[in-house]
C-alpha cells in the first residue's frame, strides 16, 4: 500500500482554549478510578498525523486521553505526497459458508491486497447518507488548512440538504476550531459541523464539493457522486466497491483514524459541555480492532456503516449499505467480522 505521508505542525499561543476529553473506558471514568492520561504535544500530534503502511492498533478501553485542540496559533495539516495510486480491487469466489446480511449492499475486502472476500450488490450505486463525511474529512485534510482557525456556526449550516432539516445538539453561534468541527463530523456525525467545514473551505461550498468529486475521480470511485458535504442529500451516491476504495485511502490519515474511532468525548466549549458518544455501537462497546469507522442514515439510504479493521493480522474493509435498522446493521457487521476471524490468518 502506498501511504500518503502526512504531518501536523502545531504552534501554541496564550489564547483561550476548550478541552476535548476522550474517555476510552466509560466504566472506569464513572467510577472515578485512576487511569492513564495523555496531553498532546506538537510531537504527539505530528506522530498521529504521520501515515504509515501498517496501522498501529491500540488496546481498547485502557486509557483516558485529554487532548487540547483549541490552542490557537497555527495548527496546520500538510501533505508531502500527491496524488496517491488507486487501490486495485479484485473479485474472488474462493470463500464458502459466507454469512447472509440484511443490508442491501455489502463488501468485505482485504485492505492490503484488494481481494474481495465478500460481496453483495457491491457495484450498485445507492445513497450513502453520512458516509459522505468520510470524504469531507479527506478533502479537509488534503487542503492543508489551519486546523486552529475558529469556525462559528451559522444558520445556513443547519439548513440541511435535499429538503431535510439538520438535527443537532449544536447551536447557531457555537464556536470551535476546524479540528473540533472535523471531530464533531466524524465521531458524532454532526451535520452542521460538516456543513461548516465546506462553507469555510477556500472558495466556499461549491469549491469544496468540486474537490470531493475530484478526489473520488482521482481514487477511481467511478460510481460515486457528491452533491454536498453532510450526507443529508440522497443525491450523494456511491457503491460498496467504491467505498472500499475510499476507506482504504482514508485509513492512511492518522487524524481520521483517531477522530472516527474514539468511543466518547466530552466537548467543553467553555460555556457548556456536550457529552457525545460514537455513532457506531461496535466502537462504543469495544471488542474489535476498528481502525476507522463511519455510520450513516437517511430514509433513502437506510442504515449504513463503513469500517477499517484488523482481524487475524489482516487489514480489512467492511462496508454495509441499506440495513433496515440500527440493530440489523450492528448484527450484519458483527456477523461479517466473526466470519472474517474464521478465515486463515494472514502471515
- Annotated active-site residue 130? The verdict is yes
What would the grid cell of residue 57 be?
Answer: 492498533
Residue 73 DSSP SS3 = coil
The span from the CA of 236 to the CA of 229, in Å, is: 9
Whether 215 is a known active-site residue: answer no
Other beta carbons less than 10 A from residue 197's beta carbon: 27
Catalytic residue among 71, 130, 229, 276: 130
| Binding-site annotation: residue ranges | 294
Angle, helices 204-219/240-250, rounded to nearest 10 degrees: 100
Query: Of the residues 133, 168, 249, 276, which is catalytic?
Result: 133
Q: Which three cell numbers stand for residue 342?
A: 474464521
| Three cell numbers, residue 185 | 463530523
Is 251 one of the annotated active-site residues of the chain? no
From 64, 189, 229, 239, the catalytic residue: 189
Helices (H), 191-280: 191-199, 204-219, 240-250, 254-261
Q: Which residues are annotated as a binding site for substrate?
A: 294
Do residues 147 and 177 touch, judged by C-beta distance below 8 A?
A: yes
Residue 4 contacts residue 79 (beta carbons within 8 Å): yes
Buried b (16+ CB within 10 A) or exposed e, 104-123: bbbbbbbbebbbbbbbbbbe
- The C-alpha cell at 118 is 465478500
264 by DSSP, 3-state: which?
strand
Could you tell me the three cell numbers for 328? Answer: 440489523
Q: How far apart are CA 304 and CA 326, in angstroms?
A: 8
Indicate which residues carry an active-site annotation.
130, 133, 189
Amino acid at each position: 500500500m502506498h501511504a500518503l505521508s502526512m504531518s501536523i505542525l502545531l504552534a501554541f499561543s496564550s489564547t483561550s482554549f476548550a478541552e476535548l476529553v476522550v474517555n476510552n473506558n466509560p466504566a472506569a471514568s464513572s467510577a472515578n478510578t485512576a487511569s492513564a492520561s495523555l496531553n498532546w504535544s506538537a510531537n504527539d500530534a505530528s506522530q498521529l498525523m504521520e501515515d504509515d503502511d501498517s496501522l498501529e492498533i491500540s488496546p481498547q478501553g485502557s486509557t483516558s486521553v485529554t487532548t487540547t485542540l483549541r490552542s490557537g496559533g497555527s495548527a496546520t495539516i500538510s501533505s508531502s505526497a500527491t496524488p496517491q495510486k488507486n487501490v486495485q480491487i479484485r473479485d474472488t469466489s474462493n470463500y464458502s459458508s459466507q454469512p447472509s446480511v440484511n443490508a442491501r449492499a455489502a463488501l468485505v475486502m482485504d485492505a492490503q491486497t484488494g481481494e474481495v472476500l465478500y460481496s453483495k450488490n457491491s457495484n450498485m450505486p445507492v445513497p450513502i447518507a453520512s458516509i459522505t463525511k468520510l470524504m469531507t474529512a479527506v478533502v479537509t485534510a488534503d487542503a492543508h488548512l489551519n486546523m486552529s482557525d475558529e469556525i462559528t456556526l451559522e444558520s445556513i449550516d443547519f439548513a440541511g440538504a435535499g429538503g431535510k432539516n439538520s438535527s443537532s445538539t449544536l447551536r447557531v453561534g457555537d464556536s470551535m476550531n476546524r479540528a473540533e468541527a472535523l471531530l464533531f463530523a466524524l465521531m458524532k456525525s454532526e451535520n452542521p459541523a460538516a456543513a461548516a467545514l465546506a462553507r469555510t473551505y477556500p472558495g466556499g461550498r461549491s469549491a469544496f464539493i468540486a474537490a470531493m468529486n475530484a478526489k473520488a475521480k482521482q481514487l477511481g470511485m467511478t460510481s460515486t457522486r457528491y452533491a454536498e458535504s453532510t450526507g443529508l442529500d440522497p443525491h450523494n451516491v456511491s457503491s460498496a466497491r467504491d467505498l472500499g476504495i475510499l476507506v482504504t485511502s482514508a485509513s492512511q490519515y492518522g487524524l481520521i483514524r483517531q477522530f472516527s474511532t474514539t468511543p466518547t468525548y466530552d466537548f467543553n466549549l467553555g460555556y457548556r459541555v456536550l457529552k457525545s458518544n460514537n455513532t457506531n455501537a461496535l466502537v462504543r462497546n469495544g471488542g474489535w480492532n476498528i481502525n476507522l469507522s463511519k455510520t450513516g442514515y437517511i430514509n433513502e439510504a437506510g442504515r449504513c456503516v463503513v469500517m477499517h479493521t484488523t482481524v487475524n493480522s489482516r487489514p480489512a474493509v467492511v462496508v454495509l449499505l441499506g440495513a433496515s435498522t440500527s440493530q440489523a446493521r450492528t448484527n450484519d457487521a458483527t456477523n461479517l467480522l466473526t466470519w472474517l476471524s474464521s478465515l486463515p490468518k494472514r502471515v
